[in-house]
Amino acid sequence: MASDGGAVGVETSALSAAAVAPSRVLHLHRGGTSVVIDVDAAFSPVIVHWGESLEGSAPDSLASLAMAARPQRVSGGLDRTPRLSLVATPASGWLHTPGLEGHRNGAGFSAQFEVAGLQSNDHRALFSLTDPEARLAAQLELRLGPSGLLHQRMTLRNTADTAYTVQSMLLGFPVPWDATELLDTTGRHLRERSPQRRPFTFGTHLRESRRGRPGADSTLLLAAGRPGFGFEAGRVHGIHVAWSGNHRVLAERVATGEAFLAGGELLAPGELILEPGATAQTPWVVGSWGDGLTELSHRFHGELRQRPQHPHRPRPITLNTWEAVYFDHTLEKLTALADAAADVGVERFVLDDGWFTGRRDDTAGLGDWFVDEGVWPHGLHPLVDHVTALGMEFGLWVEPEMVNPDSELARAHPDWILRARMSLPPAARQQQVLDLAHPEAYAYVAGRLKALLDEYPIAYLKWDHNRDLADAGSGPGGVARVREQTLALYRLLDELKSARPGLEIESCASGGARVDLGILDHTDRIWTSDSLDPLERLTNQRYTALVVPPELMGMHLTSPVVHSSGRTVALGLSAAVALFGHFGVEWDLTTVDTPTRESISQWIVLAKRIRSTIATGWTIDVDGTDPGIDVRGVVAEDRSSAVFTITQTETTVAYPPGRIRLPGLEPDRPYLLEILSLGDESHDPGQSALEWAQHPTVLTGRMLAATGIRPPVQLPQQSTVVQLTAQH
């Protein structure tokens, strides 16, 4: 052992001497983020820093940073310690999750890329990579968005004269070694994006979606941070796969001192075969970081808001008819509902499921996208004309990717149904999935939707997707189809938006089962969850907003007895929880008495008053509150104002409760506090006045963040809305 140790020492010195030679270092910086890449690292370039801005660092310092990250050789390891390179593979000694896996009919599996070219500026790098022996070439693009998000994408090209089967392409994001706690989300229908945490120990934490869509149980974000990181503090890094089909994300910590996150598309066997000369591109994998989850989320929000297609007009107050009438469609009922909606200030009226041929329940009709003449003998014109005459936009529910076996379409074209065997896949909601990658099926769906858009002034499509894709193939004995299905969906959405400029589309999938930045590149909002229970929605909306800005999240107030949970809730709670998003109503307003209708109208006035702040401001989630109190808000972009909600989810041990903080405002600026809505004033458990609410109370942003205020005494399931306005 002694002689072996001596040998290691001699070789280490030699390696160290060689390592002082100058190396190329690339520094990308934008939006408060720096990415430093050691271009000349062994085998392939390596990201040595992703996170805090290093802008202004001298080239010599950056070269030293790259050198300082290079590991020593150690006993029991390879002669050159492998690292997480841009495309790490076993050929370079990387014995952990690789960046590329594939083969040529079972052989030719090894790949090792070298840099053949590099184009870069201060926020983008395009590496041209080649492996002449494996006869593969790749382009790896890294770019920093305006808010500091790191985007990675790989394009692989087969340069051989034989086919190459791609098994996996993953993009890796190194995280600091002290990031020893993981956060992701899981869930189910009616309870999407429930958070879960665990130690980031050695090994692999893998999350996969095999549902043909992200799924209600998928994680929107996989994050790694310092132990105990919260929303307000604690350095944390996270990644998101911007893709609406099958995908993988993983966190891996290895014994050579590397910790990283990685993500990409999850490919079925044989799903991606590159013929000679063909290319394939990964989805974007997007990484964010921050001192706390709030800062991490603001990078996503800021960048999405700068997209050219981002909706910038005020988000219309929306009423959806589903929970009001379900399948019971009559002109009399729906025009009365439209009247009631217009009366309270609704701006968009959406006719949900049940309007098309044979659709009297959920067992039949999907695919037959013609207005049911038995229910609508004059088409939808009488309803649409009535809605638009009231000054509201008209929206329509569709589920174009689906088909009921009990439909004229399925009987005429059973070959258009996704399946891998002679028998159909297991049914879900009595429906199957239409193969949009089939040219004739695609043309039929596109044609029917365009015909509806041509006939009616439809401003909005509620685009639903109510089942997972199981055993999705191109036909008996055919090829796996999820990838092509997803790409066809994107084409269809773009085609419809091109045909009808100004058309807005909502992504709904059994509620929130298809929430990702891939679908949001082609749509205008997501339906956050089919659960409108405000207490359930608090958690769902908080963790959806890690990636999705609030104006793209559908949030509706609901009826007093919540349809999904049976819980009885007050209007004030339901409306307050729905304020910080794209506000709407899911309720049969024709059954509502006059005082309640007036209250709904007042909440809609408030929603309209603050919606510009919601659509441009910064979300705030407050850490350290009593377990029975939820505090969150939105601060105006210029910090001139803010709106917070203080929600009592359960009783607290402290009574009256201790002070709460309202962070996120300009520290030395004074703010006037005003209660806009106080819980349920008819059931106020406080036995004396809340003094600060009775007098003009002005506190600085620093005071509000450090010390805070006493919240009102509230019963469980009450919420108070507080406005803060900067004083001159």
Active-site annotation, residues: 464, 530
How do 150-158 and 285-291 pair as beta strands?
A: antiparallel
Instruction: List phi, psi (to 5°) of 413.
Output: -135, 65
Q: Name the helix (H) or strand (E) containing 510.
A: none
Q: To which residue do tokens 């509000």 refer? A: 704
Cα(450)–Cα(351) distance, rounded to whole angstroms?
Answer: 17
Per the CB < 8 A criterion, the answer to whether 556 and 318 are in contact is yes
CB atoms within 10 A of CB 443: 10
Cα(66)–Cα(47) distance, rounded to whole angstroms?
Answer: 9
Cα(306)–Cα(312) distance, rounded to whole angstroms?
Answer: 10
Q: Name the helix (H) or strand (E) containing 171.
A: strand 171-174
Among candidate residues 551, 536, 543, 621, the one with its CA nearest the CA of residue 583? 551
Angle CA(288)–CA(130)–CA(481) in degrees, nearest 5?
65
Q: To which residue do tokens 């990031």 refer? A: 179
Cα(353)–Cα(397) distance, rounded to whole angstroms?
Answer: 6
Angle CA(290)–CA(707)–CA(612) in degrees, nearest 5?
55
Q: To which residue do tokens 């092509």 refer? A: 484
Per the CB < 8 A criterion, the answer to whether 140 and 129 are in contact is yes
Q: Name the helix (H) or strand (E) containing 513.
A: none
DSSP notation for 666-727: -TTSEEEEEEEE-S-GGG---SS--HHHHS-EEEEHHHHHHT-BPPPP--TTEEEEEEEEE-
Burial class (CB in 10 A: 0-12, 13-18, 19+), 103: middle
- Whole-angstrom Cα Rg for the chain: 28
Cα(142)–Cα(45) distance, rounded to whole angstroms?
Answer: 12
Per the CB < 8 A criterion, the answer to whether 181 and 162 are in contact is no
Cα(607)–Cα(582) distance, rounded to whole angstroms?
Answer: 9
Q: Determine the 3-state secondary structure of 144 from DSSP.
A: strand
DSSP letter at 565?
A: T
Strands (E), 399-515: 402-403, 432-433, 458-463, 504-507
Among candidate residues 666, 712, 88, 211, the one with its CA nearest the CA of residue 468? 211
- The sign of the dihedral angle between the CA atoms of 172, 178, 182, 183 is negative
Per the CB < 8 A criterion, the answer to whether 167 and 101 are in contact is yes
Distances from the Cα of 84 to the Cαs of 16, 70, 249, 255, 420, in angstroms? 20, 11, 16, 12, 37
Q: To which residue do tokens 């049911």 refer? A: 372
Q: Name the helix (H) or strand (E) containing 657.
A: none
Which two three-digit tokens encode residue 413?
């074209």
CB atoms within 10 A of CB 510: 23
If phi > 0 it is left, if psi is from -120 to 50 it is alpha, else beta; for residue 215 that is left
Which two three-digit tokens encode residue 113?
């890329």
Amino acid at 375: V
